[in-house]
Structure 1
Amino acid sequence: MASVELPEPAVDGSTSVERAIATRRSRRSFARTPIEIEDVSQLLWAAQGRTHERDGVEMRAAPSAGATYPLTVFLEVAPGGSGQLAPGLYRYEPERHGLETTLETAIHDEFAAASSGQAVVDAAPVTVVLTADYDRTRRQYPAHGERYVHMEAGHVAENVHLVCEARGLNTCPVGAFSERALADALSLPGRLAPLYLLPVGRRPSLTG
């Protein structure tokens, strides 16, 4: 599988957290322009990137119950969706802040169909896909592991959403899809369940 090195993420920006929260919207329309790899880097770092170390454990941008980190983040790239990434599917590797190619062919049509044919998914140049290995958290928290996984997915989605807002990107979190069809489209291993979709694109120009 081919590896892609991502640019270093920015840890400071011109938009405050307060401003991003105040202006956050679920935005379903996208410009017909590709997503730059710098934006990809920032979105994936906000989702699961490493931020600091605690007691010898590398911690990530979103909180995780017991630092079990059950989520695996993928990036689906539509044809023409990125100038630097070929169409297909990539797995984010937090340890090295890079991408691993998992499918080297466009899957956008099957991916959109599995997502109930929603226009927001079909129109997106790229989609951040959250998947979960529930057992990673259930082993440590048998009674509440599933709940904790879902909480973590919410933390990640909000991070991505606020980064989109700060960088002039549109997104709309999507939870409606056929789990089996989506897992098949992504060729997911059995241990990973698709959980959440974040289609992303540039904001259309107000002047057209």
Structure 2
Amino acid sequence: MTPLDRIHVSLPPPRLDGAVSLEAALGRRRSVRAFASSPLSLHVLSQLLWAAQGVTSRRGFRTAPSAGALYPLETHVVAGAVEDLPDGVHRYLPNEHGLVVGKSGDLRGELCREALHQRFVEKAPVSVVFSAVYDRITGRYGRRGVRYAHLEAGHAAQNLCLQAVALGLGSVVVGAFQDEGVRRVLGLGEEEVPLYIVPVGRPLRS
């Protein structure tokens, strides 16, 4: 563990109930590509991250299933408009329900460029980026483990999108981007592969 890994931001505890049913969230979920400039609260970000990869049992099981409970995914926050959170890239720590402070500064524009200039990536107050460390799962499952990691990213992203709807937010999933460019923006090591970008924010009303 490096000194940087010891710089944490504690997140508010997640709520385990809500006013929107699962059925309603499923019915309302749509891809949103226009976001208001208003910031998100740290409570909202906490809920989104918990829905995506939060721990839900004393044994360490999470909100999204993982083959062999090996959890190859890492979850990153590219924040540009979150109250009480510095702009920058932060890594989610599921077991602690907190964030490791990473690269500083508003990097949404750089992420947008690496996502083939899809402008909503820059406009959203936050993007959640899922990456995978394949070695965590291929040691047991061989090359099949890569597929399992991709399936897990889909589970986590859907959880995130449904939680966004339940909070009155919009989201869109992005798979078109330059892998090496996103790795550079996030400061990832060579063992970590970016898989999915999910911008989240309040839908811009016309």
Instruction: Determine if the TM-score, normalized by the shorter chain, exceeds 0.5.
Output: yes
Runs of 4+ more than 4 Å apart: none
Name whichever structure is richer in strand by fraction: 1
- 5 Å-filtered alignment, 1:1-208, equals 1=4, 2-53=7-58, 57-78=59-80, 81-205=81-205
Unaligned runs of 5+ in 1: none
1:203 Cα offset (Å): 2.5
1:123 Cα offset (Å): 1.0
What is the TM-score with the length of structure 2 in the denominator?
A: 0.94
Any conservation in 1 of the 2:34–2:120 contact (CA below 8 Å)? yes
What is the TM-score with the length of structure 1 in the denominator?
A: 0.93
Name the aligned partner's letter for residue 30 of structure 2. R
SS in 2 for 1:101: strand
Any conservation in 1 of the 2:116–2:178 contact (CA below 8 Å)? yes
For 2:50 and 2:135, locate their aligned partners in 1 and report how far apart those are by CA, in whole Å: 24
For 1:203 and 1:36, locate their aligned partners in 2 and report how far apart those are by CA, in whole Å: 15
SS in 1 for 2:160: helix
SS in 2 for 1:52: coil
Name the aligned partner's letter for residue 195 of structure 1. L
1:205 Cα offset (Å): 4.5
1:112 Cα offset (Å): 1.1
Name the aligned partner's letter for residue 9 of structure 2. V
Task: Work out the percentage of aligned pairs sharing the same amino acid.
Answer: 42
Name the aligned partner's letter for residue 83 of structure 1. E
Unaligned runs of 5+ in 2: none
Name the aligned partner's letter for residue 157 of structure 1. A
**Deviations 1:145-188 (CA, angstroms, capped at 9, x unpaired):** 11100100000000000000111111000000000111111111
**Deviations 1:28-80 (CA, angstroms, capped at 9, x unpaired):** 11111001111100010011110013xxx3101100000010000000012xx
For 1:64 and 1:110, locate their aligned partners in 2 and report how far apart those are by CA, in whole Å: 31
Cα RMSD between the aligned structures?
Answer: 1.1
